[in-house]
Amino acid sequence: MARISKKERAENIVKILEDLYPETPVPLDHKDPYTLLVAVLLSAQCTDVRVNQVTPALFAKADSPQEMIKLDVDEIRAIIRPCGLSPRKSKAISELSHIILDKHNGEVPQSFEALEELPGVGHKTASVVMSQAFGVPAFPVDTHIHRLAYRWCLSTGKNVVKTETDLKKIFPRELWNKLHLQIIFFGREYCPARGHDASTCPICSLYGRKGIK
């Protein structure tokens, strides 16, 4: 097989993903930027499925910063315990709700800088909120995307920061918001971390890094 450029490989990967996932619904159930922010925060080291099982009970009690600050941290913690890291996450949810009210007029801020200043909100969480709530081009890199970018020879895979930088250089800006979800969906369905058969994977079989399972 003739060697193709990284650009050609990326273009072909986009075509495969677009064919498999023409629609990309946001995996975390939410109704507005605030509930998305809370859901993404809860998803750290937790599956989206589990988060979606927990958030209905939380949002039934408080689906806005105005309502959330009325709950004790222990009450929030009891509800979100199944998501893991509940002491830290409950404290962050309470604190960021106060800050949104005090500093941002009750609205989730629409900048990376302001979001990343909120407790419990790192760059990946901010990127998800900016892309999925506000439509700002971003490329949130989770474990699936980090792993697949390396497998597909699109990044060296040294760390998520490098992976994000590499992917932003390779793919057109207008594709970022949809593409990051397509890669996540693909990773879950076809390209898992364990038990992966590269020979049957729709992308790894064509463009996978040699020797990577």
Mean of all residue pLDDT scores within the chain:
94
- End-of-domain residue from the set 132, 166, 182: 132
Burial of 187 (0-12, 13-18, 19+ CB in 10 A): buried
- Cα-Cα-Cα-Cα dihedral sign, residues 114, 117, 119, 120: positive
pLDDT at 210: 66
How far is it, in rounded angstroms, from Cα 213 to Cα 206? 13
The residue range of the domain holding 159 is 6-24+139-207
What is the model's pLDDT at position 23?
Answer: 96
pTM of the model: 0.92
First to last CA, the chain: 20
**Which of 29, 142, 162, 168 is labelled catalytic?**
142
Q: Are 23 and 39 in contact (CB under 8 A)?
A: no
- Let me know whether 125 and 147 are in one domain: no
CATH number, position 76: 1.10.340.30
Looking at 104, 132, 160, the residue that finishes a domain is 132
Q: Is there a single domain that holds both residue 97 and residue 121?
A: yes
The model's pLDDT over 14-51, given as tens digits with 9 standing for 90+, comes to 999 999 999 999 999 999 999 999 999 999 999 999 99
Amino acid at the residue 29: D
Q: How many domains does the chain have?
A: 2
pLDDT at residue number 209:
78
**Which long-range CB contacts under 8 A does 62-71 form with residues at least 24 apart?**
63/31, 63/34, 63/35, 64/34, 64/106, 65/34, 65/96, 65/97, 65/98, 65/100, 65/101, 65/106, 66/101, 66/106, 68/38, 68/93, 68/94, 68/97, 69/94, 69/97, 69/98, 69/101
Contacts of 30 (CB under 8 A, 6+ apart): 36, 39, 55
For this structure, is 124 an active site residue?
yes
> What's the distance, CA 72 to chain centroid?
28
Domain containing 155 — which CATH number?
1.10.1670.10
Same domain, residue pair 79 and 124: yes
Q: Within a domain: residue 18?
A: yes
- Among 63, 89, 124, 166, the active-site one is 124
**Domain-ending residue, one of 100, 132, 164:** 132
Mean pLDDT of 191-203: 90
pLDDT (tens digit per residue) in 178-193: 999 999 999 999 999 8
Are 43 and 127 within one domain? yes
Tell me: the pLDDT tens digits for 63-105?
A: 999 999 999 999 999 999 999 999 999 999 999 999 999 999 9
Same domain, 101 and 146: no
pLDDT at residue number 2 = 52
The per-residue pLDDT for range 138-172, each reduced to its tens digit, is 999 988 899 999 999 999 878 999 999 999 999 99
Examine the residue annotation and report whether 103 is marked as an active-site residue of this protein: no
